[in-house]
Structure 1
Amino acid sequence: MGRKRRLITDSFPKVKRRKGGPGPGKEDGAPEPGLRGEEPCEEILAAHLDETHLEILRQFDLNRHFGPCTGITRLQRWERAEQLGLEPPQEVLKVLWAHPEDPQYQCSLWHLYPI
C-alpha cells in the first residue's frame, strides 16, 4: 500500500498560459478562421443555403416512396409523384424552380451512372 499512484499527466511538463492571450501557434492580431475578413457574410450564407438546398434534393432522391429516379430529371420525378397523389415535398419544387438550368440541381444523384 505504499505505492504512489501515477497519472498519465505526470509524464508531461506543466505549461502555464496567459489568461486572455492567444493560444499556442497563434500570432497577436491574426483573425481566426470564420471571422470577419475572410469572406463576406452574404457569400457564407449563400454557400450554406446552397448546401441546404442540395441536401433537400439528395433526400428526395433517396426516398423510394416517390418512385425510381434514374433516367429522369428531379422535376419530372416530382411531377410524376404529384400526378400519382404521393404528395412530394413542396420545398423540392421551390429549389428546382430557383435553379432551372443548373444540372447539379436538376439531375438526380445517379445521373452520372449508366442505367
Structure 2
Amino acid sequence: MTTKTGLITDSFKVVKTEKRRKKREKSPSPPPVQKEAEGETVCGKELNKLTQFDLDWRFGPCTGISRLQRWERAKLHGLNPPEDIKELLLQTHTDPEYTQSLWSEYPL
C-alpha cells in the first residue's frame, strides 16, 4: 500500500474573494480636537469649576442633594470647601444647570 503524501492544500480548492483582492480603503480621519481653554466662555469655566467640585470626593457624596446643600454639609463637617463655589452657587441659584450636581439626572 502506497499512500500519497502531499500538502492539505492539494486536496482543497483555493477560493479567493473580492475582499482579498481589493485594498482596504482608509476611512477618513476625524477632525483634530481643538483646545477650548483659550476660547472658553465664562459660563463654560464656571460649569467646569462646578463639575470639578462634584468630582472631588473630599466633600462627600453629591447624589440626591444640590450643590449648595453639599457645600453647606462639607462646611458643617469642617471639610473647608472652596468659598468661590458658594459665591458662584448663590449668584446662579435659579439655574438648575448650576444648582444640580453632575449626577442629578440618574435615579438613586
Tell me the TM-score normalized by structure 1.
0.59
- Displacement of 1:64 after TM fit? 0.4
Provide the rounded CA distance (Å) in 2 between the counterparts of 1:71 and 1:52.
24
Q: Which residue of 2 aligns with 1:84?
A: 77
Q: Which residue of 2 aligns with 1:12?
A: none
Where has structure 1 moved over 2 Å in runs of 4 or more?
none
Provide the rounded CA distance (Å) in 1 between the counterparts of 2:91 and 2:43.
11
- Structure 2's unaligned 5+ residue stretches are 1-38
Q: Which residue of 2 aligns with 1:34?
A: none
Deviations 1:86-110 (A, max 9, x none): 0001111111011011000000000
Tell me the TM-score normalized by structure 2.
0.62
Provide the rounded CA distance (Å) in 2 between the counterparts of 1:52 and 1:98.
15
Between the two proteins, the alignment pairs up a number of residues equal to: 70
Provide the rounded CA distance (Å) in 2 between the counterparts of 1:49 and 1:98.
14
Secondary structure in 2 matching 1:85? coil
Please, what is the CA RMSD of the aligned residues? 1.3
Query: How many percent of aligned residue pairs carry the same amino acid?
Result: 49
Secondary structure in 1 matching 2:106? coil
Match of residue 59, structure 1, among 40, 52, 67: 52
Match of residue 102, structure 1, among 73, 84, 95: 95
Secondary structure in 2 matching 1:72? coil
Q: Which residue of 2 aligns with 1:68?
A: 61
- Structure 1's unaligned 5+ residue stretches are 1-44
